[in-house]
Amino acid sequence: MRALNRIVILGLVAASLFSGTAFSEPADFSEKLDIGISTDEIAITSDFRGADLTIFGAIDGFDQNLLAQGKYNIVVALEGPKENATVRKKERVFGIWINRHSMTFELVPESYSLSSTRDIDTIAPPGDMNNMGIGVDHMRLTPMGYIGDGSSLAEFRDAFRRAKENSGVYQRDPGGVQFISSSLFKASVRLPADVPNGVHVVRAYLFRDRVFVAAKALPLRVVKTGIEQAITRAAHESPLLYGFLAVLLAVITGWIASIVFRRD
């Protein structure tokens, strides 16, 4: 009988431990997030020099006390189309700089612009930002076919982020999201001058007291118009013809230049 009682007691203790940890239910938040943009398509012309895109949003079901205490934070990101990206490392060999090593990251945004109510590392723990892939420093950079001890992985990731930010296609703006009323906010994200063509995604994230609450996403199409669109379409649909015409145009241009600037 005593043995049976011990088994029952041990079973109850184990059940209480598991029910309090592994099987605990996630927190249920009442807040919801809504966003909107003025257009779902942006036309790029030959004189495009970049533009600012404004996103408006609202927090539904917010707590007035938490809002007054500044416990709500918003992060808005504009992600470009995703492609594989290769980073190369140059080394000097016999006095000549050549590419010796490279690493290709799988499906990363061609452009990325982020705005937030403040620095994102103060909005939520860096580990949470890493899990969600929010921000340039926390973006998922997964190498393709990488085999090694990981010693060079951080170096290539830092080089990738640095190159993208230096070229202006990756941008961040702490303070770019502002509340304009009790629960309404607006965010401004930057489209670089060489913004890639294709479908972009506007993503908004809501945090309450350093905890992720809700997210919302909307598509945004970026298309080239006029002669730029015709050239882009020809390069993708008829690459051989496009290459031939490009070479022919270069030859004709060089021939005309030689005649114009020929010295008698």
Residue 149: per-residue pLDDT: 62
User: No. of H helices and E strands in the chain?
Assistant: 7, 12
- Give every CB contact of residue 117 below 8 A, 6+ residues apart in sequence: 73, 74, 75, 123, 175, 177, 178, 179, 185
Helix-strand-coil split of the chain, %, nearest 5: 35, 40, 30
Residue 74: per-residue pLDDT: 97
Q: Which of 25, 42, 8 is nearest to 225 (CA)?
A: 42
Q: Residue 72 and residue 24: Cα distance in Å, rounded?
A: 25
Residue 233: per-residue pLDDT: 63
Number of domains in the chain: 1
Residue range(s) defining the domain that contains residue 192: 29-224
pLDDT tens digits, the chain, 264 residues: what are they?
444 344 333 343 333 333 333 333 335 788 999 999 988 888 888 778 888 999 999 999 999 999 989 999 999 999 999 999 999 988 888 778 887 888 999 999 999 999 999 999 999 999 999 999 999 999 999 998 776 666 788 999 999 999 999 999 999 999 999 999 888 999 999 999 889 989 999 999 999 999 999 999 999 999 877 666 566 666 667 778 778 778 888 888 888 877 777 665
Q: Which of 36, 155, 27 is nearest to 87 (CA)?
A: 155
Residue 15 lies in a domain: no
- Give every CB contact of residue 237 below 8 A, 6+ residues apart in sequence: none
Residue 145 lies in a domain: yes
Residue 186 lies in a domain: yes
CA-CA-CA-CA dihedral for 83, 141, 187, 172, to nearest 10? -110
Residue 43 lies in a domain: yes
Residue 5 lies in a domain: no
Residue 57 lies in a domain: yes
Q: Is 198 exposed, middle or buried (0-12, 13-18, 19+ CB in 10 A)?
A: middle
Q: Residue 173 and residue 117: Cα distance in Å, rounded?
A: 9
Residue 109 lies in a domain: yes
Residue 28: per-residue pLDDT: 72
Residue 56 lies in a domain: yes
